[in-house]
Amino acid sequence: MEYFDTVITIVGYEDTQEKFDAVADEILSELGEYHRLYSIYHRFAGIENLCTINELVNGSHRTVKVDKRIVDMLIYAKEMYELTDGMVNIAMGSVLSLWHDYRELGGDDPAQAALPPTDKLKAAAQHTDITNLMIDEENCTVTLTDPQMKLDVGAVAKGYATEMVARKLEEKGVTGYVLNVGGNIRTVGTKPDGEKWTVGIEKPNGEDYLAYLELNGESVVTSGSYQRYYIVDGKRYHHIIHPDTQMPAEGFTSVSVVCKDSGLGDALSTALFCLPLDKGIELIESMPGVEAMWVDEQGEKTVSSGFSDYVKE
């Protein structure tokens, strides 16, 4: 499965189908551009993207001149690293690509499914220092100074791209839309009658809702252990890898973050999935306009102090 290879849903209110088509086309075309720039798995003719930044030429990474949208996102991702005390680290590509490869193999042939060997994971973890990601903002260039490091922006880029597209819509005065880009939900304005959007957050078993939220221009992003996984010897291994252990983070089945900025929501939902509950609560309570809901492996729900303001009565 490719990153960004996900389902996108657009719901909008317009008087005519033509008007909706025009806005939806614009949203998809913008998301397509971000997808091509942020893909770590595919190259596209004529553009430098994260895939070409990651590739080695004669044993080392090139200094690559890239689109400003890549530079801006990488700078944002570095800020998220600082904010989350390293729980969101886009320099973990070497570790995450091992998990990706083993997950793909295990998915293709469940009988052969295996975990990445610990020695390989530990060796890869030696090459995840984000300070080796050099960004020259003025000249729009990016260099990875450690030849064995790789970028993986899975915890940030989808939410960041969603946010950028939503802001562009807002600047144009568009209202009455909601985007769902692979679980990154971003509302753009209210519905035409002024009512808020209702968002149902599904339980991991899909049988019921964890919560009904009412949103008015905000985002909600959920990270869940049930979203992407594979099975080895009867045990599920999900895709959110803890930076300290290089293993799937334990403790929660789902964490949802409500805030204005979908990029922030995306990064924080991943970070909270990896942080112990008390540290996570501390982080969220220190940030105005950000609320969260944790569901642990026993199904126990915890919410931050202002979360109930968004819950539909």
User: Contact residues for another protein (CB under 8 A)?
Assistant: 1-2, 4-14, 16-17, 20, 24, 28, 31-32, 35, 39, 41-42, 107-110, 178, 180, 183, 185, 191-195, 197-202, 205-207, 209, 212, 220, 222, 230, 256
Smallest distance from another protein to CB 193, Å: 5
Q: How far is CA 152 from the centre of its chain?
A: 10
196 DSSP 8-state letter: P
Smallest distance from another protein to CB 12, Å: 6
Smallest distance from another protein to CB 15, Å: 8
Smallest distance from another protein to CB 124, Å: 24
Of the two residues 86 and 107, which places its CB atom closer to another protein in the complex?
Answer: 107
Question: Measuring CA to CA, which residue among 236, 310, 241 is closest to residue 271?
Answer: 241
Of the two residues 110 and 276, which places its CB atom closer to another protein in the complex?
Answer: 110
Smallest distance from another protein to CB 125, Å: 27
Smallest distance from another protein to CB 133, Å: 25
CB 165 within 8 A of CB 172: no
Neighbours of 278 (CB within 10 A): 8
Q: Crossing angle for the helix pair 262-274 and 157-171, nearest 10 degrees? A: 160
Smallest distance from another protein to CB 96, Å: 18
Residue type present at position 138: E
Of the two residues 119 and 193, which places its CB atom closer to another protein in the complex?
Answer: 193
Of the two residues 183 and 263, which places its CB atom closer to another protein in the complex?
Answer: 183
Of the two residues 194 and 288, which places its CB atom closer to another protein in the complex?
Answer: 194
Q: How far is CA 61 from CA 67, 122, 131, 150, 154, in A?
A: 17, 22, 15, 10, 20
Question: Measuring CA to CA, which residue among 256, 252, 237 is closest to residue 298?
Answer: 252
CB 43 within 8 A of CB 51: yes
CB 292 within 8 A of CB 257: yes
Of the two residues 193 and 278, which places its CB atom closer to another protein in the complex?
Answer: 193
Of the two residues 166 and 220, which places its CB atom closer to another protein in the complex?
Answer: 220
Q: Both ends of the chain: CA-CA distance in Å?
A: 38
Question: What tokens appear for 172 in the block?
Answer: 């144009």
Question: What tokens appear for 151 in the block?
Answer: 């970028």
